[in-house]
Amino acid sequence: MTSSQHPEGHPDDGPHSQEIRHSQIGALVPAHVARGTFSTGAVVLQGQYEFIVDFLLRMQQPQQVAARVILPPGVVAQFINALQDNLRKYERRFGPIHQPAIPPQEKPQDGQRQSAQDLYDQLKLPEDVMSGNYANAVMIGHTTTEFSFDFITTFFPRSAVAQRVFLAAPNARRLLESLTHSYQQFQDRIRQQNSSTPPVPPPSPNSGPVVPGTYDSGPQLPGTMPPGALPDEEPDESAG
Largest CA distance in the chain: 76
Residue 63 to residue 71: CA distance in whole angstroms: 23
Task: Give the mean model confidence (pLDDT) for residues 145-154.
Answer: 97
Q: Which pLDDT belongs to residue 106?
A: 60
pLDDT digits (tens, 9 = 90+) for 1-36: 333 344 344 444 444 445 544 444 579 999 999 999
Residue bearing the bigger pLDDT, 229 or 177:
177
Task: Kindly report, residue by residue over 93-141, the tens digit of the pLDDT.
Answer: 999 999 887 766 565 555 566 788 888 998 999 999 999 999 999 999 9
Query: Strand order of the sheet with strand 64-71?
Result: 133-134, 64-71, 51-57, 41-46, 236-239
Query: Regarding predicted confidence, which is higher, 49 or 11?
Result: 49
Region of residue 24 (phi > 0: left; psi between -120 and 50: alpha; otherwise: beta): left
In this predicted model, which residue has the larger pLDDT, 62 or 132?
132
181-237 pLDDT, tens per residue? Answer: 999 999 999 998 888 766 556 555 443 333 333 333 333 333 333 333 444 455 677
Contact present, 94 and 77 (Cβ < 8 Å): no
Per-residue pLDDT for 240 more than 60?
A: no
The span from the CA of 177 to the CA of 184, in Å, is 11
